[in-house]
Structure 1
Protein backbone atom coordinates (compact mmCIF):
# COMPACT_ATOMS: atom_id res chain seq x y z
CA UNK A 1 0.00 0.00 0.00
CA UNK A 2 2.79 2.43 0.79
CA UNK A 3 3.94 2.33 -2.84
CA UNK A 4 0.61 3.57 -4.19
CA UNK A 5 0.51 6.96 -5.88
CA UNK A 6 -2.10 9.67 -5.54
CA UNK A 7 -3.47 8.64 -8.94
CA UNK A 8 -3.66 5.01 -7.81
CA UNK A 9 -5.62 5.93 -4.73
CA UNK A 10 -7.96 8.31 -6.53
CA UNK A 11 -8.71 5.51 -8.99
CA UNK A 12 -9.34 3.07 -6.14
CA UNK A 13 -11.51 5.61 -4.34
CA UNK A 14 -13.86 5.74 -7.30
CA UNK A 15 -14.11 1.95 -7.32
CA UNK A 16 -14.71 1.88 -3.57
CA UNK A 17 -17.48 4.46 -3.86
CA UNK A 18 -19.21 2.32 -6.49
CA UNK A 19 -18.77 -0.73 -4.26
CA UNK A 20 -20.23 1.14 -1.27
CA UNK A 21 -23.32 2.04 -3.30
CA UNK A 22 -23.95 -1.69 -3.69
CA UNK A 23 -24.26 -2.35 0.06
CA UNK A 24 -28.04 -2.73 -0.01
CA UNK A 25 -27.86 -5.30 -2.81
CA UNK A 26 -25.20 -7.31 -0.96
CA UNK A 27 -27.37 -7.27 2.16
CA UNK A 28 -30.33 -8.48 0.10
CA UNK A 29 -28.21 -11.36 -1.21
CA UNK A 30 -27.22 -12.27 2.34
CA UNK A 31 -30.86 -12.18 3.41
CA UNK A 32 -31.88 -14.37 0.46
CA UNK A 33 -29.29 -16.93 1.54
CA UNK A 34 -30.99 -17.04 4.92
CA UNK A 35 -34.03 -18.54 3.18
CA UNK A 36 -31.98 -21.73 3.01
CA UNK A 37 -31.11 -21.67 6.72
CA UNK A 38 -33.61 -23.15 9.09
CA UNK A 39 -32.86 -22.02 12.60
CA UNK A 40 -32.02 -25.31 14.35
CA UNK A 41 -35.01 -26.40 16.40
CA UNK A 42 -37.35 -23.80 14.92
CA UNK A 43 -40.04 -24.17 12.27
CA UNK A 44 -39.04 -21.14 10.23
CA UNK A 45 -35.97 -20.00 8.32
CA UNK A 46 -33.65 -17.21 9.36
CA UNK A 47 -35.10 -15.13 6.52
CA UNK A 48 -38.65 -15.69 7.74
CA UNK A 49 -37.65 -14.50 11.22
CA UNK A 50 -36.19 -11.34 9.68
CA UNK A 51 -39.30 -10.78 7.55
CA UNK A 52 -41.63 -11.31 10.49
CA UNK A 53 -39.65 -8.90 12.65
CA UNK A 54 -39.61 -6.22 9.95
CA UNK A 55 -43.26 -6.77 9.09
CA UNK A 56 -44.25 -6.34 12.73
CA UNK A 57 -42.23 -3.12 12.91
CA UNK A 58 -43.79 -1.85 9.69
CA UNK A 59 -47.33 -2.71 10.82
CA UNK A 60 -46.64 -0.93 14.11
CA UNK A 61 -45.94 2.20 12.01
CA UNK A 62 -42.33 2.27 13.17
CA UNK A 63 -39.92 4.61 11.46
CA UNK A 64 -37.88 3.54 8.45
CA UNK A 65 -34.71 2.98 10.48
CA UNK A 66 -36.56 0.64 12.84
CA UNK A 67 -38.06 -1.42 10.03
CA UNK A 68 -34.65 -1.88 8.41
CA UNK A 69 -33.06 -2.62 11.79
CA UNK A 70 -35.70 -5.27 12.48
CA UNK A 71 -34.99 -6.79 9.07
CA UNK A 72 -31.23 -6.92 9.70
CA UNK A 73 -30.99 -7.43 13.47
CA UNK A 74 -30.00 -11.11 13.15
CA UNK A 75 -28.14 -10.99 9.84
CA UNK A 76 -24.97 -12.04 11.65
CA UNK A 77 -26.41 -15.26 13.10
CA UNK A 78 -24.75 -17.46 10.50
CA UNK A 79 -21.30 -15.83 10.48
CA UNK A 80 -21.04 -14.56 14.05
CA UNK A 81 -23.46 -16.53 16.23
CA UNK A 82 -21.75 -15.56 19.50
CA UNK A 83 -21.90 -11.83 18.74
CA UNK A 84 -24.49 -11.55 15.99
CA UNK A 85 -26.04 -8.52 17.64
CA UNK A 86 -22.82 -6.48 17.43
CA UNK A 87 -22.21 -7.73 13.89
CA UNK A 88 -25.59 -6.37 12.76
CA UNK A 89 -25.14 -3.13 14.68
CA UNK A 90 -21.86 -2.42 12.90
CA UNK A 91 -23.56 -2.82 9.52
CA UNK A 92 -26.22 -0.30 10.53
CA UNK A 93 -24.03 2.13 12.52
CA UNK A 94 -22.94 4.47 9.69
CA UNK A 95 -26.53 4.97 8.47
CA UNK A 96 -28.94 5.14 11.41
CA UNK A 97 -29.15 7.02 14.67
CA UNK A 98 -27.38 5.90 17.79
CA UNK A 99 -30.58 4.68 19.46
CA UNK A 100 -31.28 2.14 16.70
CA UNK A 101 -27.70 0.91 16.64
CA UNK A 102 -27.60 0.57 20.42
CA UNK A 103 -30.79 -1.48 20.50
CA UNK A 104 -29.58 -3.85 17.78
CA UNK A 105 -26.18 -4.13 19.46
CA UNK A 106 -27.72 -5.09 22.80
CA UNK A 107 -30.80 -7.08 21.81
CA UNK A 108 -28.99 -10.39 22.44
CA UNK A 109 -28.58 -9.62 26.13
CA UNK A 110 -32.14 -8.33 26.37
CA UNK A 111 -33.56 -11.47 24.75
CA UNK A 112 -32.05 -13.59 27.50
CA UNK A 113 -34.98 -12.70 29.75
CA UNK A 114 -37.07 -15.18 27.74
CA UNK A 115 -34.82 -18.22 27.90
CA UNK A 116 -31.52 -17.89 29.82
CA UNK A 117 -32.89 -19.35 33.05
CA UNK A 118 -33.51 -22.63 31.24
CA UNK A 119 -29.75 -22.93 30.68
CA UNK A 120 -28.75 -21.77 34.15
CA UNK A 121 -27.62 -18.41 32.75
CA UNK A 122 -28.46 -14.94 34.03
CA UNK A 123 -31.98 -14.30 32.80
CA UNK A 124 -31.69 -10.65 33.81
CA UNK A 125 -28.45 -9.83 32.01
CA UNK A 126 -30.18 -6.75 30.59
CA UNK A 127 -30.52 -5.20 34.06
CA UNK A 128 -26.94 -3.96 33.90
CA UNK A 129 -28.24 -1.50 31.27
CA UNK A 130 -31.24 -0.36 33.32
CA UNK A 131 -29.96 3.24 33.64
CA UNK A 132 -29.27 3.59 29.91
CA UNK A 133 -31.64 5.95 28.08
CA UNK A 134 -32.37 3.28 25.44
CA UNK A 135 -33.11 0.48 27.90
CA UNK A 136 -36.90 0.56 27.48
CA UNK A 137 -36.64 0.89 23.71
CA UNK A 138 -34.60 -2.32 23.61
CA UNK A 139 -37.11 -4.07 25.90
CA UNK A 140 -39.90 -3.01 23.53
CA UNK A 141 -37.96 -4.04 20.39
CA UNK A 142 -37.42 -7.52 21.79
CA UNK A 143 -40.95 -7.93 23.11
CA UNK A 144 -42.88 -6.59 20.14
CA UNK A 145 -40.79 -7.53 17.13
CA UNK A 146 -38.07 -10.06 17.89
CA UNK A 147 -39.26 -12.73 20.33
CA UNK A 148 -42.71 -12.95 18.71
CA UNK A 149 -41.31 -13.54 15.22
CA UNK A 150 -40.90 -17.31 15.16
CA UNK A 151 -44.47 -18.08 14.09
CA UNK A 152 -44.79 -20.34 11.03
CA UNK A 153 -48.31 -19.00 10.45
CA UNK A 154 -47.57 -15.27 10.64
CA UNK A 155 -48.36 -13.49 7.33
CA UNK A 156 -45.15 -11.53 6.79
CA UNK A 157 -44.39 -9.28 3.85
CA UNK A 158 -41.97 -10.68 1.24
CA UNK A 159 -38.38 -9.50 1.03
CA UNK A 160 -39.19 -7.50 -2.11
CA UNK A 161 -41.50 -5.33 -0.01
CA UNK A 162 -38.55 -4.18 2.08
CA UNK A 163 -36.04 -3.70 -0.77
CA UNK A 164 -36.81 0.01 -1.32
CA UNK A 165 -36.55 0.68 2.42
CA UNK A 166 -33.20 -1.07 2.64
CA UNK A 167 -32.03 0.87 -0.41
CA UNK A 168 -33.11 4.18 1.08
CA UNK A 169 -31.22 3.65 4.32
CA UNK A 170 -28.02 2.38 2.68
CA UNK A 171 -27.92 5.13 0.06
CA UNK A 172 -27.48 7.69 2.83
CA UNK A 173 -24.09 9.25 3.23
CA UNK A 174 -22.24 7.21 5.84
CA UNK A 175 -21.84 8.89 9.23
CA UNK A 176 -23.87 11.92 8.17
CA UNK A 177 -24.75 13.67 11.41
CA UNK A 178 -28.36 14.27 10.35
CA UNK A 179 -28.87 10.49 10.10
CA UNK A 180 -27.05 9.58 13.31
CA UNK A 181 -28.63 12.11 15.66
CA UNK A 182 -26.85 10.73 18.70
CA UNK A 183 -28.39 11.07 22.12
CA UNK A 184 -32.04 11.22 21.07
CA UNK A 185 -34.20 8.69 22.89
CA UNK A 186 -37.37 8.71 20.81
CA UNK A 187 -38.53 5.12 21.03
CA UNK A 188 -39.69 2.65 18.42
CA UNK A 189 -42.11 4.86 16.53
CA UNK A 190 -39.57 7.45 15.39
Structure 2
Protein backbone atom coordinates (compact mmCIF):
# COMPACT_ATOMS: atom_id res chain seq x y z
CA UNK A 1 0.00 0.00 0.00
CA UNK A 2 1.19 3.48 -0.81
CA UNK A 3 0.17 5.99 1.81
CA UNK A 4 0.36 9.73 2.15
CA UNK A 5 0.31 11.89 5.24
CA UNK A 6 -1.59 15.14 5.14
CA UNK A 7 -1.37 18.04 7.54
CA UNK A 8 -3.00 20.71 5.39
CA UNK A 9 -6.67 21.35 4.84
CA UNK A 10 -8.45 19.43 2.13
CA UNK A 11 -11.96 19.65 0.67
CA UNK A 12 -12.90 16.40 2.40
CA UNK A 13 -11.16 16.97 5.73
CA UNK A 14 -13.21 16.70 8.91
CA UNK A 15 -13.07 20.09 10.65
CA UNK A 16 -11.12 19.85 13.88
CA UNK A 17 -9.85 16.34 13.23
CA UNK A 18 -6.20 15.47 13.69
CA UNK A 19 -4.06 14.97 10.56
CA UNK A 20 -4.38 11.42 9.28
CA UNK A 21 -2.47 9.15 6.96
CA UNK A 22 -4.40 8.55 3.77
CA UNK A 23 -4.49 5.73 1.28
CA UNK A 24 -3.61 6.72 -2.29
CA UNK A 25 -5.54 4.20 -4.41
CA UNK A 26 -7.39 5.56 -7.41
CA UNK A 27 -10.19 2.99 -7.37
CA UNK A 28 -11.71 0.58 -4.89
CA UNK A 29 -10.66 -2.26 -7.17
CA UNK A 30 -6.98 -1.55 -6.49
CA UNK A 31 -7.40 -0.97 -2.73
CA UNK A 32 -5.91 -3.36 -0.19
CA UNK A 33 -6.73 -4.61 3.30
CA UNK A 34 -4.09 -2.23 4.65
CA UNK A 35 -5.95 0.63 3.03
CA UNK A 36 -9.18 -0.33 4.75
CA UNK A 37 -7.44 -0.92 8.07
CA UNK A 38 -6.48 2.74 7.75
CA UNK A 39 -9.86 4.02 6.59
CA UNK A 40 -12.35 2.16 8.77
CA UNK A 41 -11.25 3.68 12.11
CA UNK A 42 -11.85 7.14 10.64
CA UNK A 43 -15.58 6.38 10.55
CA UNK A 44 -15.69 6.89 14.32
CA UNK A 45 -13.98 10.27 13.89
CA UNK A 46 -16.55 11.33 11.32
CA UNK A 47 -19.39 10.12 13.56
CA UNK A 48 -18.05 12.17 16.47
CA UNK A 49 -18.77 15.33 14.49
CA UNK A 50 -22.36 14.34 13.65
CA UNK A 51 -23.91 16.06 16.71
CA UNK A 52 -22.40 19.38 15.62
CA UNK A 53 -23.75 18.90 12.11
CA UNK A 54 -27.19 18.01 13.42
CA UNK A 55 -27.21 21.15 15.56
CA UNK A 56 -26.07 23.19 12.57
CA UNK A 57 -28.83 21.80 10.36
CA UNK A 58 -31.45 22.40 13.05
CA UNK A 59 -30.18 25.98 13.14
CA UNK A 60 -31.12 26.34 9.49
CA UNK A 61 -34.75 25.85 10.52
CA UNK A 62 -34.64 29.00 12.62
CA UNK A 63 -36.55 31.96 11.12
CA UNK A 64 -37.83 29.78 8.27
CA UNK A 65 -41.60 30.06 8.68
CA UNK A 66 -42.86 28.92 5.30
CA UNK A 67 -46.14 30.64 6.15
CA UNK A 68 -46.63 28.67 9.38
CA UNK A 69 -47.50 30.40 12.69
CA UNK A 70 -44.07 29.52 14.12
CA UNK A 71 -40.73 28.91 12.43
CA UNK A 72 -39.61 25.38 11.64
CA UNK A 73 -37.17 25.22 14.53
CA UNK A 74 -39.81 26.29 17.03
CA UNK A 75 -42.14 23.63 15.65
CA UNK A 76 -39.43 21.01 16.19
CA UNK A 77 -38.69 22.29 19.69
CA UNK A 78 -42.38 22.28 20.58
CA UNK A 79 -42.78 18.72 19.31
CA UNK A 80 -39.79 17.50 21.33
CA UNK A 81 -40.72 19.49 24.43
CA UNK A 82 -44.27 18.15 24.43
CA UNK A 83 -42.97 14.60 24.10
CA UNK A 84 -40.43 15.08 26.88
CA UNK A 85 -42.96 16.66 29.25
CA UNK A 86 -45.28 13.76 28.53
CA UNK A 87 -42.65 11.35 29.86
CA UNK A 88 -41.33 9.94 26.60
CA UNK A 89 -37.84 8.46 26.66
CA UNK A 90 -34.75 10.13 25.21
CA UNK A 91 -34.84 8.19 21.95
CA UNK A 92 -38.43 9.22 21.29
CA UNK A 93 -37.69 12.85 22.19
CA UNK A 94 -34.77 12.87 19.75
CA UNK A 95 -37.04 11.56 17.00
CA UNK A 96 -39.53 14.29 17.84
CA UNK A 97 -36.81 16.92 17.66
CA UNK A 98 -35.36 15.71 14.35
CA UNK A 99 -38.52 14.65 12.55
CA UNK A 100 -38.54 17.76 10.33
CA UNK A 101 -34.78 18.34 10.08
CA UNK A 102 -34.98 17.76 6.32
CA UNK A 103 -37.62 20.45 5.72
CA UNK A 104 -35.22 22.94 4.16
CA UNK A 105 -33.25 20.29 2.22
CA UNK A 106 -36.03 18.22 0.67
CA UNK A 107 -39.34 19.95 1.35
CA UNK A 108 -41.26 17.44 -0.76
CA UNK A 109 -39.70 14.39 0.91
CA UNK A 110 -38.44 15.60 4.27
CA UNK A 111 -39.41 12.54 6.38
CA UNK A 112 -36.89 10.42 4.47
CA UNK A 113 -34.01 12.65 5.58
CA UNK A 114 -34.84 12.40 9.27
CA UNK A 115 -35.55 8.68 9.01
CA UNK A 116 -32.14 8.04 7.44
CA UNK A 117 -30.37 10.02 10.17
CA UNK A 118 -32.01 8.22 13.08
CA UNK A 119 -32.30 4.70 11.64
CA UNK A 120 -29.04 3.22 13.04
CA UNK A 121 -29.75 4.60 16.51
CA UNK A 122 -33.44 3.96 17.22
CA UNK A 123 -35.99 1.18 17.44
CA UNK A 124 -37.97 -0.06 14.46
CA UNK A 125 -41.05 1.62 15.88
CA UNK A 126 -39.39 5.02 16.16
CA UNK A 127 -37.77 4.75 12.74
CA UNK A 128 -41.08 3.82 11.13
CA UNK A 129 -42.78 6.68 12.94
CA UNK A 130 -40.29 9.24 11.64
CA UNK A 131 -40.31 7.78 8.13
CA UNK A 132 -44.11 7.87 7.84
CA UNK A 133 -45.04 10.89 9.95
CA UNK A 134 -45.63 13.04 6.86
CA UNK A 135 -48.50 10.98 5.49
CA UNK A 136 -49.97 10.59 8.99
CA UNK A 137 -49.75 14.33 9.56
CA UNK A 138 -51.70 14.73 6.33
CA UNK A 139 -54.78 13.44 8.14
CA UNK A 140 -55.13 16.88 9.70
CA UNK A 141 -54.83 19.09 6.63
CA UNK A 142 -54.53 17.32 3.28
CA UNK A 143 -58.25 17.75 2.60
CA UNK A 144 -57.59 21.51 2.54
CA UNK A 145 -55.05 21.21 -0.28
CA UNK A 146 -56.81 18.74 -2.53
CA UNK A 147 -55.11 15.61 -1.21
CA UNK A 148 -56.51 12.53 0.53
CA UNK A 149 -56.48 13.06 4.28
CA UNK A 150 -57.08 9.33 4.75
CA UNK A 151 -54.00 8.29 2.78
CA UNK A 152 -52.52 6.89 5.99
CA UNK A 153 -55.12 4.10 5.83
CA UNK A 154 -52.84 2.37 3.35
CA UNK A 155 -50.71 1.53 6.39
CA UNK A 156 -53.56 0.43 8.67
CA UNK A 157 -52.14 -3.10 8.95
CA UNK A 158 -48.76 -1.89 10.18
CA UNK A 159 -47.94 -2.73 13.77
CA UNK A 160 -46.76 0.88 14.11
CA UNK A 161 -49.91 2.57 12.76
CA UNK A 162 -51.34 3.59 16.12
CA UNK A 163 -47.91 4.51 17.45
CA UNK A 164 -47.35 6.94 14.58
CA UNK A 165 -50.89 8.30 14.67
CA UNK A 166 -50.40 9.03 18.37
CA UNK A 167 -47.16 10.92 17.68
CA UNK A 168 -48.89 13.17 15.17
CA UNK A 169 -52.00 13.66 17.29
CA UNK A 170 -50.27 14.44 20.58
CA UNK A 171 -47.02 16.11 19.59
CA UNK A 172 -46.61 17.00 15.90
CA UNK A 173 -49.88 18.52 14.68
CA UNK A 174 -50.34 20.58 17.86
CA UNK A 175 -46.83 22.08 17.81
CA UNK A 176 -47.61 25.36 16.04
CA UNK A 177 -48.59 27.43 19.08
CA UNK A 178 -46.87 30.83 19.25
CA UNK A 179 -47.71 31.03 22.97
CA UNK A 180 -46.26 27.65 23.95
CA UNK A 181 -43.11 27.85 26.08
CA UNK A 182 -40.83 25.23 24.57
CA UNK A 183 -37.37 24.30 25.77
CA UNK A 184 -34.52 25.98 23.85
CA UNK A 185 -32.33 24.01 21.47
CA UNK A 186 -29.52 24.09 24.05
CA UNK A 187 -31.67 21.99 26.37
CA UNK A 188 -31.57 19.12 23.90
CA UNK A 189 -27.88 19.37 22.99
CA UNK A 190 -26.68 16.84 25.61
CA UNK A 191 -29.24 14.34 24.31
CA UNK A 192 -28.09 14.89 20.73
CA UNK A 193 -24.46 14.34 21.70
CA UNK A 194 -25.30 11.23 23.71
CA UNK A 195 -27.42 9.72 20.95
CA UNK A 196 -25.32 10.53 17.89
CA UNK A 197 -21.76 11.15 19.09
CA UNK A 198 -20.56 7.57 18.67
CA UNK A 199 -21.32 4.46 16.66
CA UNK A 200 -24.73 2.81 17.17
CA UNK A 201 -24.62 0.91 20.43
CA UNK A 202 -21.41 2.70 21.40
TM-score, with structure 1 as normaliser: 0.86
* Equivalenced residues, count: 175
Residue pair 2:76, 2:98 contacting (<8 A) in 1 also:
yes
SS in 2 for 1:155: coil
Name which of structure 1's ranges 58-67 and 165-174 shifts more when overlaid on structure 2. Answer: 165-174
Which of the pair has the greater relative contact order for Cα pairs under 8 Å at 6+ separation? 1
1: CA distance between counterparts of 2:156 and 2:77? 29
Runs of 4+ deviating beyond 4 Å: none
Residue in structure 1 matched with residue 188 of structure 2 by the alignment: 162
Residue in structure 1 matched with residue 73 of structure 2 by the alignment: 47
Residue in structure 2 matched with residue 32 of structure 1 by the alignment: 59
Structure showing greater radius of gyration is 2
Residue in structure 2 matched with residue 10 of structure 1 by the alignment: 37
Counting helix residues as a fraction of each chain, which structure ranks higher? Answer: 1
1: CA distance between counterparts of 2:198 and 2:40? 18
Residues 62-87 of structure 1, C-alpha deviations (whole Å, 9 max, x = no match): 01111000000000111111111121
Deviation at 1:11, TM superposition (A): 2.2
Residue pair 1:95, 1:172 contacting (<8 A) in 2 also:
no
Unaligned runs of 5+ in 2: 1-27
2: CA distance between counterparts of 1:51 and 1:127? 28
